[in-house]
Amino acid sequence: MALVGIIANPASGKDIRRLVAHGSVFDNQEKVRIVRRILLGLSEMGVDRVCFMPDYYGIVGRASGEIEIDTHVFPLEFTAIGEQEDSTVAARLMEAHGAACIIVLGGDGTNRAVAKGSGSVPILPVSTGTNNVFPSMVEGTIAGMAGGLVACDRVAPEECTFRSTKIEVLEDGEEKDLALVDVVVYDDIFTGSRAIWDMGKVSQVFLNRASADCIGLSSIGGQIRCIDPEEPRALYLELGEEGQRVVAAVAPGLIEKVFVRHQRVVEVGEEIEVSSSPCVLGLDGERDFEVSPGKRTTLRVVKDGPRVVDVSRTMKAAMQTGILSSIK
């Protein structure tokens, strides 16, 4: 019996960047509508069971209560506290329950939290956050169909998923945290409102992904060199008052001019030392790790990040094999 997990973050799309930039507010009722379509897609592909992360708005519960499907939809048994850790706990429980795929509604930060909880279950990321690089904009019905095809083994996993790299945060050689997209050194001593928006305080940038057409901190690197999702390397940048001038969209409607005084490609296994102490590290767009004086903090790109469902490849594989025409 195929089991799919759904983690819908009720807080994604509502952070401080709505005040300091011009991002759209992604309300929870819209997430309910997306999940409703995901559930319909999963059911049509033959998924028997769906477990979901409980949340204060009841996103998945509301969505499932308004449609008639044969799929059994049930919440995970834990008390959600309304924090990032909920997604990590939910992913860990979904892996333990034997989920074949986890569909995530959220931004880069939500997917990072999910990756911290589950390292083996394929993630299908649906963008509902702010500066999204890891997840993509995909219609809910298609996301449900693709997730169902993967979960029910109707497509070959090696054709439709890929292993992402990740960035490890090491303190005195011990892994303490991770990022899926970027790590920035932020010259402050408090996590505060978490979101990274003042570029004047950013001194170092470590990018696991970079593209000229993305938004957020990765867009800075994207103007210098593209790093594809499956590429086993990262891009390291030092910002300063002199160097290569880069114009980048660091947040919705917020275009900044920064100077890159040093850049280099970092291969798997290489470590970059954080030059400031004390400071705060922004992980996937959120200030989340405080660097303590006297501690040696380094960043390292590794291969064993989460496995990611490529929706386009999945649907193309289904077309080529004709599997959809055989589904009753």
- C-alpha Rg value of the chain to the nearest Å: 20
Using DSSP, state whether 188 is helix, strand or coil. coil
Whether pLDDT at 94 is above 70: yes
**Token pair of 291, please?**
């660097």
Per-residue pLDDT, averaged over 203-231, amounts to 90
pLDDT band at 167 (very low <50, low <70, confident <90, very high): very high
| Helix or strand (DSSP H, E) at 268 | none
Where are the domains positioned within the chain? Answer: 3-164+306-326, 166-302
Measure the CA–CA gap between 186 and 174, rounded to whole angstroms: 21
- The answer to whether the 3-164+306-326 and 166-302 domains have the same CATH topology is no
Q: Looking at residue 296, what is its pLDDT?
A: 95
At residue 19, the pLDDT reads: 46
For position 18, what pLDDT does the model report? 46
**Fold (CATH) for 3-164+306-326:** Rossmann fold (3.40.50)
Closest-CA residue to 180 (of 286, 56, 320): 286
Architecture per CATH, 166-302: Sandwich (2.60)
* Average pLDDT value for the chain: 90
Does 11 have pLDDT greater than 90? no
What's at 59, amino acid-wise? I
Q: What is the pLDDT of residue 122?
A: 97
Query: Which residue is associated with the tokens 């924090």?
Result: 83
Above 60 in pLDDT, residue 86? yes
pLDDT of residue 207: 95
Looking at the predicted structure, is the pLDDT value of residue 251 above 70? yes
Under 8 Å between Cβ of 307 and 162: yes
Give me the pLDDT at residue 187, please. 85
Q: What is the predicted pLDDT for the residue at 259?
A: 93
pLDDT at position 132, please? Answer: 79
Question: Looking at the chain, which runs of residues are DSSP E strands?
Answer: 3-8, 49-52, 72-75, 101-106, 123-127, 161-163, 166-171, 174-179, 182-186, 202-207, 233-240, 244-251, 254-267, 271-273, 279-283, 286-291, 297-302, 307-309
pLDDT for residue 190? 63
Above 70 in pLDDT, residue 192? no
Q: Which pLDDT score, from 0 to 100, does residue 286 have? A: 83
pLDDT value for 168: 96
pLDDT at 191: 58
Q: pLDDT band for position 193 (50/70/90)?
A: low
Say which residue, 242 or 94, is predicted with more confidence: 94
pLDDT tens digits, residue range 25-79?
678 999 999 999 999 999 999 999 999 999 999 999 999 998 999 999 999 999 9
Specify the DSSP element, H or E, that contains 310: none
Is the pLDDT at 175 greater than 50? The verdict is yes
Sheet (strand 297-302) strand order: 174-179, 166-171, 297-302, 271-273
pLDDT value of position 294: 87
pLDDT at residue number 60: 97
With a CB cutoff of 8 Å and minimum separation 6, the contacts of 97 are 3, 5, 51, 76
Peptide bond just before 278 cis, omega within 30 deg: yes
